[in-house]
Structure 1
C-alpha cells in the first residue's frame, strides 16, 4: 500500500503536551482554561427549538445547569485583564442525557486542525532568555498556518471582557441538528448576553485588579440572574462546516433556549467535571470538524494528568 500521501495527525497526548510545554504543568489544574470558577443556573428550552431539533431535552420546561467560567490559556495565575479568550462551559442534564456546551468569547478558534493547534502553541513557548515567545517562530507558524492569525487579530481589536455577563460566547465548532421530520441542519451555537457586550477601556485595564471577574459575577447574580439567549446560527452559502477558525457570515438564528446564571457555586464544585463538546443529547450530532472530533480524547488525557 502506498502511504506517501497519508497524513499522521497529532494525537491527544501531543495536543496536551503542547499546552503543558507552553503554559507549564500545574498540579490539579486543567491544561487549558486553568483559571476559572464554577456557577449554577438553569436552561429553559425555547418553543422555537422544535423547528430545528427534536429531543426530550428540548421538550422540558426548565433544566438545572452547571457552569464554569474561565480565562483562556493554561496559566492559573493569569490576569483577568489579559487579552485572551474567556470561556463558558455548560452542562445541561435531562434524565440520562447531558448536553455540554464548550464556548469561547470569540467567533473563531485559533486552529483549523490538530497540526495547526500543536504548531500554534509550540511557536509561543517562551524563550529561556527573554521569557517571551520568539516573534520569528510565530511568523513562521502564521506563514504555514494562516488560520492561526484570525483569533489573535480579533483579541487585539478590543479590550478584555469587563464581565462574564457582558460577553457573547461561541461554539466555533459546528453541529448537526435533526428535527422531528428528519430534516438535518448544520449550525454553530452562539450565546448572546442580554446585558449587552462590554469590554474594558484602557483606563479600566490600568485601574482594575488582576482578579475581579469572579467577584463581579457574584455581585451581579446576588442582585438578579444573569441571562443569555442560546442560539443556533445557520450557515450562509460558503460558510465552512468543518473549519472552526473560519468566521461565519451566517444566515439567521434559531433560539434554542434561555440560559440563566443564578449564583456562584462552592469552590471546586465543578473541578471534577470534564465538559466535552461531543457530549450531546438526542437530536444533536457532531460535525466532521477535525478539532471537534479530537477534543474528547485530549480532554481525557488532561483529566488524567491533573488527577495523578
Structure 2
C-alpha cells in the first residue's frame, strides 16, 4: 500500500517545527554582538550567502531546482544487510527535488557544477531523506574547509570573479579542495537529471537483523545510463532546459534509478567525504521512479536532511555530515523570515 501523501502546507509546518527545536537546542540563535565561530552552522551559511548572495525565499545552497513526485520500491530480503520497517514496505511515495549546486537561483543549466537529487521516502512509520550530488566526492572534508573554500571564491568587486591567489591559498591549505572541481572539469554538464548518477559522498552505518554493521555510501544509478551534453548541445541549448527535458521524458515513460549501498574497499575513508572510494560490493536497496514534475509548493517547505534516517541506518563519524543538519536549520530560518 502506498504511504499517505502529506499536503505541502502540513509538511512545511512539520519541517519548520522540527527545525525550530533544532535551532534552539543547538544554540544557533546568537546574542547580539556575539562572535561567530569560523566553522559554525551560522558561518557556513554566511559563507554561502557571501559567495552567492542572499535570495529571498531561496535555499542557501542548491537554490535553483524543481520538484517531482515518484515512488520507491525496496529490494527483497534486505534484512541481512539493513533491518528497518521502511525497507519492509512494498511501495512508498517519494517526494523528489532536482537542483543545481550553489546558491545562485539563476545559474545556467549548462554550468559545470554538481546536480543534486533530494528524495524523501516515508513508510512503516519511518522517514528516509536522501541528499545526493552528481559527483562521488564533496569539496570539503571539514566545516572549516567548507567555509574557507567558499570565502576563497567570493567574487572580486572589480573583476566579478574569484581571486586566483585566494583560491590557490585555500588549495594549498586544504588539498582535498581540488578533487571535486577536477571531476567537474573532466566532463560537460549532464544532458538530463535522468542521465546522471548521484552519490551521498558521506558514509552511513547499516545494521542487519543479526546486529552486524557495515559502512556504506549511497550510489544511485540511472536506468537511462549516463549522458552528458555534447559540444554542440552546450552551445545551442538555452540556460534553462533541464525541467522541460524531464517533463518531455516523463510524458513518454517514468525516469528510474537503482539505489545502492556501496561498501568500502580496504583503505577507503569512512569519515572524509572529499576522498573518492575504490569501493567493493554493492547492495541494491531498491528502485526509485520519478513519475511527474510537481508544483513548486510540493517541496518548497521541505528540507531534505541527510541525518533523517530509518532505523537500521545511522550516521558515520563524518564532521561534514554532522554539520549539515544544523546548517540547514540556519538556512531554513533565513529563508522563512
Taking the aligned partners of 1:292 and 1:241, their CA distance within structure 2 comes to 11
- Alignment-derived partner of residue 157 in structure 1: 186
2:211 to 161, 176, 182: 182
Deviation at 1:50, TM superposition (A): 2.5
Question: 2:85·2:124 contact (CA, 8 Å) conserved in 1?
Answer: no
Q: Does 1:88 align with 2:88?
A: no
Q: Does 1:125 align with 2:166?
A: no
Taking the aligned partners of 2:125 and 2:89, their CA distance within structure 1 comes to 14
- Alignment-derived partner of residue 275 in structure 2: 246
Deviation at 1:214, TM superposition (A): 0.5
Question: 2:86·2:125 contact (CA, 8 Å) conserved in 1?
Answer: no
Question: Deviations for 1:43-66, whole angstroms, at most 9, x for unmatched residues?
Answer: 000015332100101111000000
- Alignment-derived partner of residue 237 in structure 2: 208
Q: Does 1:234 align with 2:263?
A: yes
Q: Does 1:146 align with 2:146?
A: no
CA distance 1:67–1:12, change in 2 (3 Å)? same
- Alignment-derived partner of residue 67 in structure 1: 96
Question: 2:88·2:124 contact (CA, 8 Å) conserved in 1?
Answer: no
CA distance 1:127–1:218, change in 2 (3 Å)? same
Taking the aligned partners of 2:176 and 2:55, their CA distance within structure 1 comes to 29
Taking the aligned partners of 1:248 and 1:47, their CA distance within structure 2 comes to 26
Moved more, 44-53 or 29-38: 44-53
Deviation at 1:95, TM superposition (A): 4.2
Q: Describe the SS at the equivalent of 1:47.
A: coil
Deviation at 1:106, TM superposition (A): 0.1
- Alignment-derived partner of residue 257 in structure 1: 286
Q: Does 1:111 align with 2:140?
A: yes
Gapped runs of 5+ residues in structure 1? 1-7
Deviation at 1:219, TM superposition (A): 1.0
RMSD of aligned residue pairs (Cα, Å): 0.9
1:272 to 301, 310, 324: 301
Question: How many aligned residue pairs are there?
Answer: 301
* Deviating 4+ runs (over 3 angstroms): none
Gapped runs of 5+ residues in structure 2? 1-36
- Alignment-derived partner of residue 330 in structure 2: 301
Question: 1:48·1:256 contact (CA, 8 Å) conserved in 2?
Answer: no
Taking the aligned partners of 2:261 and 2:38, their CA distance within structure 1 comes to 30
- Alignment-derived partner of residue 15 in structure 2: none
